[in-house]
């Protein structure tokens, strides 16, 4: 076995050649996290609004208002409005919480 810069060792046939190890470090940037964070805040706001509607109004009227908001959110999601899914999820969660609490 020879060691050094010019020495070449015979590699057995069943051992694959090693590729150079390249580590790529990935760090999320603030711009990549902000749509998700903004969407979650929008969902929490929509949830709180739906619960507040159920507290202030009659159950039937509040249910209709929340269902209308959910329908608008679904249509907006189908049309590709960026944060409509988050708002719809928040309204669904708030509607369930308001209706069954």
CA dist., res. 38 & res. 46, Å (int): 12
Domain boundaries along the sequence of the chain: 50-101
Burial degree of 48 (CB within 10 A; 0-12, 13-18, 19+): middle
Q: Which residue has the higher pLDDT, 83 or 13?
A: 83
Residue linked to tokens 């209308």? 68
Tabulate helix, strand, coil % of the chain (nearest 5).
65, 0, 35
pLDDT at 63: 96
Query: Over the chain, what is the mean pLDDT?
Result: 83
Quote the percentage of the chain above a pLDDT of 70.
67
**Which pTM does this prediction carry?**
0.67
Give 57-72 pLDDT, tens digit per residue: 999 999 999 999 999 9
Q: Is the pLDDT of residue 23 over 70?
A: no
């Amino acid at each position: 076995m020879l060691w050094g810069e010019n020495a070449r060792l015979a590699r057995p046939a069943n051992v694959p050649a090693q590729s150079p190890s390249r580590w790529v470090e990935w760090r999320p940037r603030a711009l990549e996290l902000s749509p998700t964070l903004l969407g979650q805040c929008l969902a929490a706001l929509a949830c709180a609004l739906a619960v507040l509607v159920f507290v202030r109004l009659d159950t039937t009227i509040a249910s209709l208002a929340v269902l209308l908001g959910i329908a608008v959110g679904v249509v907006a999601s189908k049309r590709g409005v960026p944060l409509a899914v988050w708002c719809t999820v928040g309204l669904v969660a708030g509607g369930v919480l308001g209706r069954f609490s």
